[in-house]
Amino acid sequence: MSSQRRRQSAEVYRRRRILVAVLAVVVLALLGWLISLALSWGQDTESVVPEQSASSEETPGGSEAGSEAEPSEGSSPDAGGADDQGAEGEDAAEEEQPQDQPAEDGSCRTGDLEVRASTGAESYGPGFAPMLIMEVENTADYACEADLGTAEQEYLVEHAGATVFSTAECSVSRESLPVQLEPGESEQAHFTWPRSDSSEDCAEPASLAPGSYELTVSLSGVRSEPHEFSLSEG
**What is the structure's pLDDT at 122?**
96
If one compares 141 and 3, the residue with the highest pLDDT of the two is 141
Residue 64 pLDDT more than 60? no
Average pLDDT for residues 43-72, to the nearest whole number? 46
**What is the structure's pLDDT at 30?**
79
Residue 66 pLDDT more than 90? no
Average pLDDT for residues 1-30, to the nearest whole number? 69
In contact, 108 and 145? CB cutoff 8 Å = yes
In b/e form, how buried is each residue of 172-205, taking b as 16+ CB within 10 angstroms? eeeeeeeeebeeeeeeebebebebbbbeeebeee
Residue 142 pLDDT more than 70? yes
Please state which CATH number belongs to domain 110-231. Answer: 2.60.40.2360
Q: What is the pLDDT of residues 184-234, one digit of tens each?
A: 999 999 999 999 999 999 999 999 999 999 999 999 999 999 999 999 875
Average pLDDT for residues 156-185, to the nearest whole number? 93
Question: Exposed, middle or buried: residue 91 (CB in 10 Å: 0-12, 13-18, 19+)?
Answer: exposed
Average pLDDT for residues 23-51, to the nearest whole number? 68
The share of the chain scoring above pLDDT 90, in percent, equals: 50
**What is the structure's pLDDT at 182?**
96
- Backbone phi and psi for residue 32, each to the nearest 5 degrees, phi listed first: -60, -40
Residue 57 pLDDT more than 80? no
In which band, very low, low, confident or very high, does the pLDDT at 43 lie, cut at 50, 70 and 90? low
Residue 183 pLDDT more than 60? yes
Give the three-state DSSP class for 16. Answer: helix
| Residue in 179, 197, 201 with CA at minimum distance from that of residue 189 | 179
Q: What are the extents of the domains in the chain?
A: 2-69, 110-231
Weakest mean pLDDT among 119-128, 151-160, 169-178: 169-178
**What is the structure's pLDDT at 81?**
52
Distance CA 206, CA 194 (A): 9
Give the three-state DSSP class for 97. Answer: coil
**What is the structure's pLDDT at 33?**
76
Q: Mean of the per-residue pLDDT values for the chain?
A: 78
**What is the structure's pLDDT at 168?**
92
Question: Exposed, middle or buried: residue 159 (CB in 10 Å: 0-12, 13-18, 19+)?
Answer: middle
Question: How does DSSP assign 32-90, residue by residue?
Answer: HHHHHHHHHHHHHHHHHHHHHHHHHHH-TTTHHHHHHHSPPTT--TTHHHHHHHHHHHH
In contact, 99 and 206? CB cutoff 8 Å = no
